[in-house]
Amino acid sequence: MQSITLKGRGASKGRAEGEALVTHDAISFLSDVSVTGGIITSPQSKLKGQSVFDKILVFPTGRGSTADPYGFYMLKKAGKAPRAVINIEANPTTVAGAIISHTPMVYRLDKNPLDVIDTGDHVLVDGNKGTVIITKKVRHNDGRTS
């Protein structure tokens, strides 16, 4: 299995690992994600209907107003939050949401995470060190992945 390590900045401390869910859309945790169900609800998103729960959520940056951290916090209280967040650039409202929800978050990595991480890859996020370790899913000749 191929392993790739990226280095950047930690925005919220902690470590988490799991399956990546990747989108090229900016995300507001208050208006693009159901705060009680963890389902992406934005009609413009290619991920509409998918769950952020238990995923390593990879997206370019957050968007939204000062109420966005509350949406992130509500996801955590409902038990439907992502395990960790990876951004290209950190939006202050996403950082605040990650911190109050005790969710590891990294950003400004040495490579664009949207170019390196695919949905389904196994990812370890270390917000203490600002590192991401990606284990690429293996594609078999018969179409299976593992």
Tell me how far apart the alpha carbons of residues 103 and 81 are, in angstroms, rounded to a whole number. Answer: 8
Q: Which residue has the tokens 């000749």?
A: 141
Residue 89's φ and ψ, nearest 5 degrees, are -125, 140
Exactly one of 28, 65, 101, 146 is catalytic; name it: 65
- Characterize 74-87 residue by residue with b for buried, 16 or more Cβ atoms within 10 angstroms of its Cβ, and e for exposed: bbbeeebbbbbbbb
Beta-bridge partner residues of 15: 126
Cα Rg of the chain, angstroms: 14
Tell me how far apart the alpha carbons of residues 62 and 87 are, in angstroms, rounded to a whole number. Answer: 8
- CA 47 to the chain's CA centroid: 13
Residue 65 appears among annotated catalytic residues: yes
Give the residue among 71, 76, 127 at the shortest CA–CA distance from 94.
71
Q: Which positions are annotated as active-site residues?
A: 65
